[in-house]
């Protein structure tokens, strides 16, 4: 149990000692020490000359923009050393314009907060910048998306576009790869080089249900299935489990297709595949069965 008030979007630090969350009571980012249960709000109400109360009042005068909603600090993401948090904020935006998102950093050792990426530095940005931070890699790259475009900002604050057009992005646990899910297509982006590999899905894989990356970051699991317009045929369509390994020939991904373990039934699309360990994957079939797959070859 987490003491005190309401929290959302809870994320564990890489060293396992802390939790960070949106603090709904104070509209900031809180850090919870798991051993002592001590809670500390790590985002201040005045940062680099921007005073929260004054900013909120100024925004209210221009309430035709986003209803005058200020997001002071939310959606924290840990650095790999568990010493810093990146978060999304629209503080510093011009109140008479759209309240664009920017990325700020909270240094937990020094208590300092600073802007890492202002919205107007994002190339090809749309009319309204809404940011989702996906990961903070060991090489100090922040992976984020705005709209349907994926970006990386490196330790020198250089911003580069990694991918465009996906509805969902998923970063591997080691920060090396990104799965870009589209409608009937899947791309794998290599973070360091920016290389993009289009996964050959086949005609029966119009829809993808992500299962996520393995804890070691070298396997991606998802369900693939065709679109069926006849409700009576929906339960009869074949749903395949796809396992994508990043240890293919010449460093390219290699796809393995797994059929249902229960003859006469298929995988249930109501449940995402879940990694239990670095090799064990939990899946369900549409007869209610639950199976653990050894992704090394057994089941």
The domains of the chain are located at 1-165, 200-299
Closest CA to 61 of 99, 98, 96, 27: 96
Distance of alpha carbon 195 from alpha carbon 80, whole angstroms: 23
pLDDT at res. 64 = 56
Q: Do 275 and 214 meet the contact criterion of CB atoms below 8 Å apart? A: yes
- pLDDT tens profile 48-93: 888 888 877 777 776 555 555 778 888 999 999 999 999 999 887 7
Look up tokens 């373990």; give the residue.
261
Residue with tokens 């850090």: 31
- Here the tokens at position 35 are 């051993």
State the pLDDT at residue 65: 53
| pLDDT averaged over 10-residue windows placed end to end, the chain, 299 residues | 68 94 82 92 86 79 61 91 94 72 94 91 79 91 91 90 91 90 89 89 84 90 85 73 80 79 77 89 87 70
Rg (CA), the chain: 21
> How far is residue 281's CA from residue 208's CA, in Å, rounded to a whole number?
17
CA neighbor of 240 nearest in space, from 225, 255, 262: 225
pLDDT at position 177 is: 92
What Cα–Cα distance (Å) separates residue 290 from each residue in 43, 214, 238? 43, 19, 17
Q: Kindly state the greatest CA–CA separation across the chain.
A: 65
The reported pLDDT for the residue numbered 9 is 85
Please give the CATH architecture assigned to the domain spanning 1-165: 6 Propeller (2.120)
Contact assessment for residue 259 and residue 232, using Cβ atoms and an 8 Å cutoff: no
Instruction: Output the CA–CA distances (angstroms, integers) from residue 111 to 38, 44, 47, 80, 83, in the order listed.
Output: 16, 9, 11, 18, 10
For residue 266, the model assigns a pLDDT of 82
What is residue 264's predicted lDDT score, i.e. its pLDDT? 67
From the list 177, 172, 119, the residue with the least C-alpha distance to 146 is: 119
Cβ-Cβ contacts under 8 Å for 111 (sequence gap 6 or more)? 42
Spatial distance between the Cα atoms of 189 and 196, rounded to a whole number of angstroms:
5
């Amino acid at each position: 149990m987490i003491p005190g008030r309401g929290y959302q979007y809870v994320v564990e630090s890489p060293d396992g000692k802390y939790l960070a969350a949106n603090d709904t009571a104070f509209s900031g980012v809180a850090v919870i020490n798991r051993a002592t249960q001590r809670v500390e709000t790590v985002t201040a109400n005045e940062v680099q000359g921007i005073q929260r109360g004054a900013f909120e009042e100024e925004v209210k005068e221009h309430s035709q923009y986003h209803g005058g909603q200020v997001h002071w600090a939310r959606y924290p993401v840990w650095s790999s050393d568990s010493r810093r948090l990146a978060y999304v904020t629209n503080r510093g935006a011009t109140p008479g314009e759209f309240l664009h998102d920017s990325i700020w950093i909270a240094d937990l050792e020094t208590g300092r907060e600073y802007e890492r990426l202002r919205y107007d530095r994002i190339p090809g940005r749309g009319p309204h910048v809404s940011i989702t931070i996906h990961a903070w890699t060991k090489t100090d790259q922040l992976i984020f998306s705005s709209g349907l475009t994926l970006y990386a900002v490196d330790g020198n604050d250089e911003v580069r576009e990694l991918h465009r057009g996906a509805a969902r992005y998923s970063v591997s646990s080691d920060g090396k790869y990104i799965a870009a899910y589209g409608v009937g297509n899947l791309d794998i982006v290599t973070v360091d080089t920016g290389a993009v590999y289009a996964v050959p899905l086949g005609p029966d894989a119009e829809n993808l249900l992500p299962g996520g990356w393995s804890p070691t970051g070298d396997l991606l699991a998802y369900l693939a299935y065709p679109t069926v317009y006849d409700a009576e045929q929906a339960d009869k369509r074949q749903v395949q489990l796809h396992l994508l390994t990043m240890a293919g020939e010449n460093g390219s991904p290699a796809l393995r297709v797994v059929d249902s373990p229960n003859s006469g039934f298929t995988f249930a699309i109501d449940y995402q595949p879940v990694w239990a360990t670095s090799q064990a994957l939990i899946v369900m079939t549409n007869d209610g069965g639950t199976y653990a797959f050894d992704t090394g070859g057994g089941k």
